[in-house]
Amino acid sequence: MDQSKQQFDVVVVGSGASGGWAAKRLAEAGLKVALVDNGRKQSDSNFTEHMPSFQLKYRDQASELIRRTRPVQKDCYACMEYNYDWFANDLDEPYSTPKDMPFSWQGRLRITGGRTNVWGRQSYRLSDLDFKAASHDGYGEDWPLSYSDLAPYYDIVEEYVGITGIPEGVYELPDGKFQPPMGLTCAETLLRNRVKEKFGRTVTLGRSANLTKSINGRAPCHYCGPCERGCVTHSYFNSAFTTVADAVSSGNCTHIPDAMVYQVLMDGDRNRATGVLYIDRITRQPQEVRARAVVLCAQALESVRVLFNSANRQYPAGLGNSSGVLGHYLMDHITGGGANGELPELTGKPNINGPNRPDGIYVVRFRNTHDGPRSKNFIRGYGFQGGGDVGFNWSAPGFGAAYKKALLDPITGIGLGGFGECLARWENYVEIDRNRVDTYGIPVLNIHMTYGENEMAMVKEMADSAAEMLEAAGAKNVRSTLRPSAPGWAIHEVGIARMGNDPRKSVLNQFQQSHDVKNLFVCDGAGFTSTACQNPTLTIMALCVRSMDHLMQEMKAGNV
């Protein structure tokens, strides 16, 4: 049937972490869903996790060639010769920034599953120290919901996604429904034990969306390593072969790929969203999809771009923007503070063939905790990701036989890199660039973001505290790193259509429902009121499921 003539119950825009869940939840409940995504269809035949680089034309060594079409996407460590065509062409689809305000908009995917194809899979719950951060230290706004509201939805998501982890009983990082843990290396165990003993801090296994137990026909991980190139056994969480596949196989979801959504369509008289207008990326023709409700899940920057581009007479400053808050309070985690060193007391035999555990360790936030002392230099906190293992001595001096011998002399390395909370500040914002359109004729975003004094003080302490912990673990040759990232580099952009109870100060309510337009929802990270220091995606997914349950209740009650 011609999609433009079909009336759907809900149109979901985006097939990534949030859109996959929205489509699954709604379609499995019996609603007719259109899943509109600007990526082409993903398939197992694209996956190359077992392909050696010598089978590639340029041996995965030609990053400058990739930069010709993807100068920003290539900033992302996961964009490589194996998969670069999953990423957007930056020349066709740019964003812009003021000259003196760099922002790296890496991680724009154009394939079903969006960023979940290549994500790092680190999956952490937020706690009430995060949801109620403003009550704790007086800065900003509390979220309009509490941990207890979201906990049952974290359970649902974790059990389906499959997350390996160790329960630790720490207030700041609530435990979840974990699959059996992948093991820690000797170096990591040593760090864990000594850091607990000396500082009382928790070093744990990274909580990662990689299966250690089979679920829903997906096999446990076999430790081959490069998940960002896909996974034929479906052992990591990628919405393309999990939530989206479930939604489609329910028989209630029509997946419309290669569809670049431009605007939300409105019935101004009834103040209701009626569907979306998209540009078909293949034919370049405009098309419409009609539905009773619209759910934007296009990733925070892109959903807000769609809302700005949907401005009309009733909402001249952007759809759903009667508050004037839309586009403001952009956040990303600050990174670039950490340390690495060597643990000479441990030895072993390095192995070039793996096993390659696709996970590392995590140091739980220990600054400005629930009931601990407060830092004088900054508010909020940071966590570390890292790892340690026996490796080859790649930086051995010399050449010839002596070099070969030295290379095999094992080194046990250990490293930590911080992820710090970024404060929600009005002056970090996005707007429409009036002078630039993408290849489809759609006005692009202009992004204004810098880190402030709080983030800079925090990243400096990350470098010091990482070195301090490594030294306490007995590491030698400890080198701290302090190279604060530009915004965008953590690829955790959230917050530009914030949730709140007060429609004058927020765009969405606690169910990510527009205060202004009741049948319009924004279920990616745009709704975050603050960013915490944990990776955002588990929370994005849990919020999305909760919001979709609310949408269905409202539809049943005749309110939407």
Ligand X SMILES: Cc1cc2nc3c(=O)[nH]c(=O)nc-3n(C[C@H](O)[C@H](O)[C@H](O)COP(=O)(O)OP(=O)(O)OC[C@H]3O[C@@H](n4cnc5c(N)ncnc54)[C@H](O)[C@@H]3O)c2cc1C
Residue 360 found at the interface with ligand X (CB under 6 A): no
Q: Which partner, ligand SF4, ligand X, none, binds residue 210 by CB below 5 to 8 Å per kind?
A: ligand SF4
Binding mask 45-84 for ligand X (x = CB under 6 A): -------------------------------x-x------
Q: How many residues bind ligand X (CB under 6 A)?
A: 40
Cα–Cα distance between 258 and 37 in angstroms, integer?
A: 6
Q: 326: which 2 tokens? A: 């839309």
Residue type for position 411: I
Cα separation, 119 vs 138, in Å, equals 33
- Least distance between ligand X and beta carbon 179 (Å): 16
Among 297, 416, 463, 548, which residue sits at the site for ligand X (rule: CB under 6 A)?
297
Residues 29-68 that bind ligand SF4 (CB under 6 A): 49
Cβ closer to ligand X: 341 or 417?
Answer: 417
Of these partners, ligand X, ligand SF4, none, which one is at the site of residue 332 (CB under 5 to 8 Å by kind)? none
Q: Which of 235, 228, 170 is nearest to 209 (CA)?
A: 235
> Per CB under 6 A, which region of 17-25, 145-153, 333-341, 403-411 contacts ligand X?
17-25
CA distance 96 to 154: 35
Angle, helices 537-556/17-28, rounded to nearest 10 degrees: 30
**Residue 68 to residue 219: CA distance in whole angstroms:** 38
Measured from the CB of residue 122, what is the shortest distance to ligand X in angstroms? 3
Asked if residues 121 and 227 have their Cβ atoms less than 8 Å apart, the reply is yes
Binding residues among 198-257 for ligand SF4 as defined by CB under 6 A: 210, 221-225, 227, 231, 233, 235-236
Please list, residue by residue across 263-293, b when 16 or more beta carbons sit within 10 angstroms of its beta carbon and e when fewer do. bbbbeeeeebbbbbbbbbbeeeeebebbbbb
x/- track of binding to ligand X for residues 445-484 (CB under 6 A): ----------------------------------------
Strand 286-296 to 411-420 pairing:
unpaired
Peptide bond into 355 cis (omega under 30): yes
Question: Can you list the alpha helix ranges (DSSP code H) found in 162-242?
Answer: 186-199
**Sites for ligand X among residues 244-283 (CB under 6 A):** 259-261
Q: Does 524 bind ligand X (CB under 6 A)?
A: yes
Query: What is the pairing mode between strands 520-522 and 443-448?
Result: unpaired
Q: Which is nearer to ligand X, 122 or 242 (CB)?
A: 122
Q: Looking only at residues 380 through 439 of this chain, which bind ligand X when binding is defined by CB under 6 A?
A: none
User: Binding of ligand X at residue 110 (CB under 6 A)?
Assistant: yes
User: Does residue 331 bind ligand X (CB under 6 A)?
Assistant: no
Instruction: Give the span between the Cα atoms of 218 and 243, in whole angstroms.
Output: 12
The overall longest dimension of the chain from CA atoms, in Å, is: 81
Give residues 327-386 in contact with ligand SF4 (rule: CB under 6 A): 358
Nearer to ligand SF4, 84 or 143 (CB): 84
User: Closest Cα to residue 352, out of 53, 46, 63?
Assistant: 53
DSSP letter for 140, please: S
Is 118 among the residues that bind ligand X (CB under 6 A)? Answer: yes
E-strand stretches of 374-420: 382-391, 411-420
Q: Which residue is nearest to ligand X (CB)?
A: 16
114 binds, among ligand SF4, ligand X, none (CB under 5 to 8 A by kind): ligand X
Please say which residue, 212 or 535, places its beta carbon nearer to ligand X: 535
User: In this chain, which of 24, 25, 121, 255 binds ligand X, going by CB under 6 A?
Assistant: 121
Q: Could you give the angle at which helices 537-556 and 147-161 cross, rounded to 10 degrees? A: 110
Between residues 470 and 543, which has the closer beta carbon with respect to ligand X?
Answer: 543
To ligand SF4, the closest distance from the beta carbon of 123 in angstroms equals: 13
Binds 73, which of ligand SF4, ligand X, none (CB < 5 to 8 A, cut-off by type)? Answer: none
CA atoms of 221 and 165, how far apart (whole Å):
14
Tell me the closest approach of the beta carbon of residue 355 to ligand SF4, in angstroms: 9
Extended strands (E) in 429-500? 429-437, 443-448, 476-482
> Which residue, 78 or 247, is less far from ligand X as judged by CB?
78
Distance (Å, rounded) from C-alpha 437 to C-alpha 444? Answer: 5
Measured CA to CA in angstroms, residue 537 lies from 127, 145, 417, 531, 533 at distances of 14, 17, 19, 11, 12
Size of the residue set binding ligand SF4 (CB under 6 A): 13
Is residue 122 within the footprint of ligand X (CB under 6 A)? yes
CB of 132 to ligand SF4, least distance (A): 35
Q: Which residues contact 332 (CB under 8 A, 6 or more apart)?
A: 422, 449, 487, 488, 489, 490, 491, 492, 493, 494, 531
Residue 49 binding result from ligand X, ligand SF4, none, given CB thresholds of 5 to 8 Å by partner type: ligand SF4
In the bound complex, what is the minimum distance in angstroms from residue 406's beta carbon to ligand X? 34
Interface residues for ligand SF4 in 268-287 (CB under 6 A)? none
Could you say which of 8, 9, 11, 15 contacts ligand X (CB under 6 A)? 15
Coil, strand or helix at 130: helix
**CB closer to ligand SF4, 250 vs 356:** 356
Q: Where are the beta strands (DSSP E) in 72-231?
A: 203-205
Contact between 388 and 413 under an 8 Å Cβ cutoff? The reply is: yes
Site string for ligand X, 208-247 (x = CB under 6 A): ----------------------------------------
* Binding-site partner at residue 120 among ligand SF4, ligand X, none, CB < 5 to 8 Å by type: ligand X
**Contacting positions for ligand SF4 (CB under 6 A):** 49, 210, 221-225, 227, 231, 233, 235-236, 358
Which chain residues interact with ligand X by CB under 6 A?
A: 13-19, 36-39, 76, 78, 107, 109-110, 114-116, 118-122, 259-261, 297-299, 302, 306, 491-492, 524-525, 535-537, 540
